[in-house]
Structure 1
Amino acid sequence: MKINCEKEIIKIIKEDEWMMEILKVAKALKLPDWWICAGFVRSKIWDTIHGFENRTPIPDIDVIYFDCTTVEESIEKSLEKQLIDWMPNIPWSVKNQARMHVINNLPSYTSSVDGIANFPETATALGVKLDEENNVLLSAPHGINDVTKLVIKPTPRFETTKELVTIYEDRILKKNWSSIWPMISINNARSD
């Protein structure tokens, strides 16, 4: 199946009861500027395009939020525990984007969407959440063209230095996405 626009991505997520339940549980935390991102969204798109009948397992459900008033990792662990109490069979991961820039030695993020924009790959730089009426909202700071065309390439930030190029390249090797989704193509990063 082809996916051509953001409305089609939102539709396949809305029709997925498991994804909607996870979104509703994450929304119940009432976190500021929250999103579920990365593989949660990308894998659904790639599974759909590949025509997979069964969901590809993902290592974690990445819940992100932005709160610059409390950046202790212990708060994130407490939120993960709360989610596990509500849905124990889900591999929850909660990260405050107000502190995550330090992982890759980047400038401070200004929001969760800014954090998503600074993920290593454009096809992973995606997030979804529910609004007040439980409508699915999609954030795609680099657009959806790469993910829907099955192209993996670095976000602009991850082509700026040799160190960031290495992070991108190491992730590509470690993730080995082409062994799961054989139609994808992988672009190398280029640093100046």
Structure 2
Amino acid sequence: MSDLEARLVEIVRADPGLMHVLRGVRDQDLPDWRIFSGAVYQSVWNALTGRPAGYGVRDYDVGYYDPDTSWDAEDLVIKRVAAAFDEPFRSTVEVRNQARVPIWFPAHFGEPYDPLAGTDEALERFVSPAFAVGVRLEKDDAISVAAPLGLEDIFALTLRPNPNRGVARDWARVIERARARWPELQVVEPEAG
């Protein structure tokens, strides 16, 4: 485990809300699951900037991978996970089958989205390397980390476009919302081109 990965695990363990969600989701035994996006990078940014755990976290994004791409199958999982939590977590834990993302992503975001082979592959497509970090609480209580674009940006409080995809259509809005909560962020703007 790298130093940055060890620091990430330490920060995750110190965030009571995130740990509560990790334990609750682990108990649901979803296939190939991770908690990723805001709940992870915001936990790191809060720790680095001296803000309290949970500051700025609006939801807990849970991805899992099931080749059954029917809405009914995903809806059952969404309801099962929601039933495992009391409020406020019941309404803030958002579960999505990553195998279904290619079905709705183009209409919702106006960008193509090729099929995935697993949950961790989705991280490679996130709009910024700082966002492309996922964690899972394993059965032995270890926290596994997936960060295909590295952990440097999340710890450097840096937002830059993912070099492996086009700049997200809502990049300016993403930056504005993040900077409103963490003004310390450094932004590397996309190259004009």
Q: Same fold (TM over 0.5)?
A: yes
Could you tell me which runs of 5 or more consecutive residues in structure 1 were left unpaired when the two chains were aligned: none
Out of 154, 171, 183, the position equivalent to 2:174 is 171
Could you tell me which runs of 5 or more consecutive residues in structure 2 were left unpaired when the two chains were aligned: 106-110
SS state at 2:94 partner: strand
Instruction: Assess if the C-alpha contact under 8 Å between 2:15 and 2:53 holds in 1.
Output: no
Question: CA distance change for structure 1 residues 61 and 54 in 2, over 3 Å: closer, same or farther?
Answer: closer
Instruction: Assess if the C-alpha contact under 8 Å between 1:151 and 1:187 holds in 2.
Output: yes
How many residues end up aligned between the 2 structures?
182
Tell me the equivalent position of 2:45: 46
TM-score when normalising by structure 1: 0.86
TM-score when normalising by structure 2: 0.85
Question: Offset at 1:25?
Answer: 0.7
Deviations 1:68-100 (A, max 9, x none): 2x1123333332222222213211211111121
Deviations 1:13-44 (A, max 9, x none): 12333322210111112111100100110010
Tell me the equivalent position of 1:101: 102
% identical equivalent positions:
23
1:13 aligns with 2:12: yes
Distance 1:168 1:113 in 2: 22
Question: Offset at 1:51?
Answer: 0.6
SS state at 1:129 partner: strand
Paired amino acid for 1:140 = A
Paired amino acid for 2:20 = E
* RMSD after superposition: 1.9
Paired amino acid for 1:87 = F
Tell me the equivalent position of 1:182: 183
SS state at 1:137 partner: strand
